[in-house]
Amino acid sequence: MTKITPEHLTRSAIVYVHQSTPYQVTNNLESQRRQYGLVERARQLGWSEARVIDDDLGRSGGGSERPGFEKLLAAICEGNVGAVLSIEASSSPAMGATGTHCWNFVAWSIR
C-alpha cells in the first residue's frame, strides 16, 4: 500500500537541496549528487517532473536568510506541493529553534 494518492501526483514534487557552507558545496559533491538524485526518485514514485529548490546551497541556517526554504513553504501554503524530497533534513536551515515545527508543517500540509 502506498500513501501517495492520485491527488498528490497532480501537485508538484519539490526536491529541496541544501548544504550549510560554501566549503560543503565545493568539497562534498557526493551529498549534492545524492540530493539532486531525488529528482529521479520522484519520477520513480510517479511524478512526471520534480522542481528543484537549491537556493540555500552554502547558506547556514544560523541567522542568514533562506530564500529556498521560504519558496518551499510558500508553495506548500499555496497548496501546490504533493511531495517534498530532501536528504539530511536534520541539518537543513530549518532545524533551528522552530525547525522541527516547520518540517512537521510540511508533512501535515501535503497529506
Q: What is the CATH number of the domain that holds 83?
A: 3.40.50
Is 72 among the domain residues? Answer: yes
* Residue 60: active-site member: no
Between CA 111 and CA 4 the distance in angstroms is 9
Q: Does residue 79 form part of some domain?
A: yes
Other beta carbons within 10 Å of 17: 23
Residue 38 structural domain: 6-109
Per the model's pLDDT, the better-predicted residue between 105 and 64 turns out to be 64
Q: Is 105 within the bounds of a domain?
A: yes
Among the options 20, 31, 86, 91, which is catalytic?
20
Position 103 scores a pLDDT of 55
Residue-wise pLDDT tens digits, 47-89? 998 999 999 998 876 666 889 989 998 999 899 999 999 986 6
Cα distance between the two ends of the chain? 15
Q: What is the DSSP string of the chain?
A: --S--HHHHHSEEEEEEEESSHHHHHH-HHHHHHHHTHHHHHHHTT-S-EEEEEEEET--TTTS--HHHHHHHHHHHTT-EEEEE-S-GGGSTT-STTHHHHHHHHHHHT-
- Mean pLDDT (the chain) is 82
pLDDT at 37: 96
1 lies in a domain?
no
Residue 29 lies in a domain: yes
The arithmetic mean of pLDDT across residues 18-43, rounded, is 92
Domain count within the chain = 1
CA of residue 32 relative to chain centroid, distance: 13
Residue 42 corresponds to which amino acid? A
